[in-house]
A and B are shown apart, each in its own frame.
Chain A
Amino acid sequence: MKRLILVVLALFGLFAGIMLAAAQDTGTAVDPSQITDDQVMEVARSLYCPVCPNEPLNTCQTEACYRWREDIRSQLARGLSKDQIIANFVAQYGERASAVPLDQTLQTVSLVTPFLIAGVALLIAIFLILRWRGAKTAAPTGTVNDPSASVPPDDPYRAALEDDVKG
């Protein structure tokens, strides 16, 4: 009797495990042969080869990458979504496997910094232009063309053009 209970419990555990795993998958499992190459490539495009230098997984031509793409196919066949597959790759091979880090801190640092750089650069430029507008200037060295000195009054475009053409 005791053995029977253990067997039932084991079967129950196995069943629960399978159900739990199934619950984690968002899609329905299908035969891997039904997954098209295009579906595989769509996921592979967001991944980097874990061993080749800066090589996206969808273009990498090594044997290892063929195997990883087949791994994507089998995960798609199990019903996993693109995000889940990417997360699996990152869990297995580290953040460098993803084209954009999944870790929130890394993602924020990576993506926010460039906008900060651009914003700061723009602010500095605006500040400088405003400051220069009212700035005192050095005496001209005589090597610079002063447009105001040569502007014919009748044709503003011609005047500007002449100024440009002076090179």
Chain B
Amino acid sequence: MLAEVGLAALALAFGAAIYAAVVSLIGSRRQSTALIASARNAALLTFPLLLLAAGALLAGLISQQYQIAYVWQVSNPSTPLFFRITALWGSQQGSLLFWCLLMSLFAFIALLVNWRSYARLMPYVIAYTMITLAFFVGLSLFLENPFARYWIVPDASSPNGLVVSTVFIPPNAVAPDASRLADTARGLNPLLRHFGMIIHPPMLYLGFVGFVIPFAFAMAALASGDLSTNWIKATRRWTLVAWLFLSLGLLLGGRWAYDVLGWGGYWGWDPVENAAFIPWLVGTAFLHSVMIQEKRGMLKVWNMVLVIFTFSAVIFGTFATRSGLIDSVHSFAQSEIGAPMFIFWAVVTLISVILILYRRGRGELKSEHAFAGILSRESLFVLNNVVFVALALVIFWGSFGAPIVSELFMSTDITLGPDYFYTVTVPLFIAMYILMGVAPLSAWGAVSARALGRALIVPLALTLVGLILFILSGVTSPGALFGYSIVMLAGFVAIYEIYRGVVSRRRVTGENYLRAVQSIFSRNRRRYGGFIVHLGITVIGLGVIGSTLFQQETQQTLALGQTLGIGGYEMRFDGVDTGQVAEDGRLMDIANVTVIRDGRELASLRPRHDVFPAAEGQTAMVMNIPGAHSTLENDFYVLLVGVQPDGRVTFKVYINPLINLVWWGGIILIIGTLVSSWPSQKEPASERMKSRRGKAAPAGAAA
């Protein structure tokens, strides 16, 4: 019954999305308020329908309906309730449905929130969001249906019949024995049984699907010819929200890798990680570039290109992850959705580019100002955009471009590892941090080198002090000191700009410091939230430099009571409990070690070696869960590699300097983004009235 309900809801959502897309375009063409209102209602209906479909699948997971193939694949009777719920996005079919649900949620909110304010754009926004949604729901419905069920059909070669998985009941089919299905159910992939992985995919999906809204508004602007800053105003917060979730997804993914994958790091330049990082980079470029259009009426074409590029990167990343194009620990198994996704990606990108060229050809995307000078903020933002886009392109090249080109043209399968990415991205990251340090001090329009130099004096002096502190702490590597300097400069500029804003505010109003801080943040959340984001990126930068350049590692085999030394620490092996069986059936070896520094016992750690016995038709999975002693200075991170036949144990130990700054910086970044995207105080009544008078009555607003 649950499968039927879910399937019906999914099919209805597909129909509603197609209806909404087609009718909104017809309504817009005929200027029919009734048709547009009908399209809107259909678009709004997709969310409750997909909620019902996802709810049906969730109910199936919770009530252990193993006849539903998806439930059988991602859970088993020993799966705890919490993981049954998170199993909704634990595999291809469920996660695709979940993805559709989130996309419909974004469309639902965008339609409700923006309906009255951006009437001219909305029919096209409905069309673009619903076309995208219909495509993904179509994939879910026709190629990766989560409601397929197991049936036994008569088969001449087998007396017990043949077990098949189909959406509709085959002729003469009978349902398999429920207890047999329960006994053989596979259970959730062990790698997904971690808090970071539970919350990481939804955050990434929210980030990915969130970019559909800015894209839809940009396309709506191009299609409708309303090329004022309306679409940018409408999408500013949507872009920030999408960026926030994407950032959270990346950070949580990093944390999951650090805690679960057992290789001592958080970023492996894996193609799937990179597929999520590329839209983040382009989205960041867009967030900066869009300010130039708002302030100066420039870069109209470029902003369109960036928002399309961001969405295109999202679709490509999804395609790469879900199609089997690339192999990765993060990707889904090979699937039939690769070809349609690639075609969709290519068509959407092509249509978008044609629309831009059309409007550009009509002279509707001309800049309203000229660039005043190379040191003006808009020029520096353009350079910043170049850096972000170049980063996205070189990462794309290393992850997908070079491997695909070499396979297509040279019949050679290649992998580009961290060495490639460090070589090509470090110069660009250096440029990014330098621009992050200089651009906020520049002004719109024009600025002299002298004025810019004067503004840099205080941050540079603070950077110098920081540099001396690093040298005193024992850092001697010129490369590291250079890296720390430019990263610190960007951070000090952010702090200095907040300080200057407060001082300037106090000078005018006489407010106390606390009140002045509150005032400047409430007057322009985006600007000062942005500085907090810069501060977060600075702290992350310090953590990345420390943990990358100064990481130490050793692998040694110890007998009971023996110690190993690394990075000023000692680790004593105190014992090992082998063959422990957990509730979920995994076999665990747990070592007991003591971390010692300067003769003082700091912590007792229990690194673990888990073996998940092989399910039917699968291979056993091994996981090394680290033990870590964390301080702000570094992490002492130990892995149990294996227990030798003679009872000795092999450990791998890492010292990861400043690694916790990566997480702390991430938290600061999230806070800054929340500040930036938080709705501003209400406009004064007079402003509100003025803005209302200036707007046309929205089509279908009465509906």
Contacts and interface: CB of A to CB of B under 8 A. Distances in A.
Interface of A: 36-38, 40-41, 46, 48, 53-56, 58-59, 61-62, 94-101, 103, 105-106, 109-111, 113-115, 117-118, 121-122, 124-125, 128-129, 132-135, 137-141, 143-148, 155-158, 160-161, 163-165, 167
A89 to B, nearest CB: 12
Given A121-B393, A138-B366, A106 B406 contact: yes
A140 to B, nearest CB: 5
A133 B507 CA distance: 36
Given A100-B416, A147-B444, A114 B268 contact: no
Q: State the 7 A-B residue pairs at the shortest beta-carbon distance, nearest first.
A: A99-B417, A53-B327, A37-B555, A59-B263, A114-B394, A138-B366, A144-B297
Nearest to B650: A37
A114 B397 CA distance: 7
Nearest to B622: A61
B375 to A, nearest CB: 11
B600 to A, nearest CB: 26
19 contacts: A36-B556, A38-B553, A58-B263, A94-B412, A100-B416, A109-B402, A113-B402, A118-B428, A121-B390, A124-B386, A125-B385, A129-B371, A132-B367, A132-B370, A137-B366, A143-B229, A147-B443, A157-B504, A167-B524
A38 B327 CA distance: 28
Nearest to B385: A125
Contacts of B382: 125, 128-129
A117 B443 CA distance: 29
A133 B370 contact: yes
B417 A106 contact: no
Given A48-B415, A141-B229, A53 B328 contact: yes
B371 A132 contact: yes
Interface string B450-479: 010000000000000000000000000000
Contacts of B445: 147-148
Nearest to B386: A125
B523 interface: yes
Interface string B549-561: 0000111110000
Given A59-B262, A121-B393, A53 B331 contact: yes
B297 A143 contact: yes
B368 interface: yes
Given A106-B412, A135-B367, A54 B420 contact: no
B389 interface: yes
A96 B263 CA distance: 20
Contact of B508 (A55, A140, A158): A158
Interface string B390-410: 100110011001100110001
Given A59-B263, A106-B414, A141 B443 contact: no
Nearest to B329: A53
Contact of B424 (A41, A114, A138, A155): A114
Contacts of B331: 53
Contacts of A36: 555-556
Given A132-B367, A138-B367, A141-B297, A55 B329 contact: yes
A54 B329 contact: yes
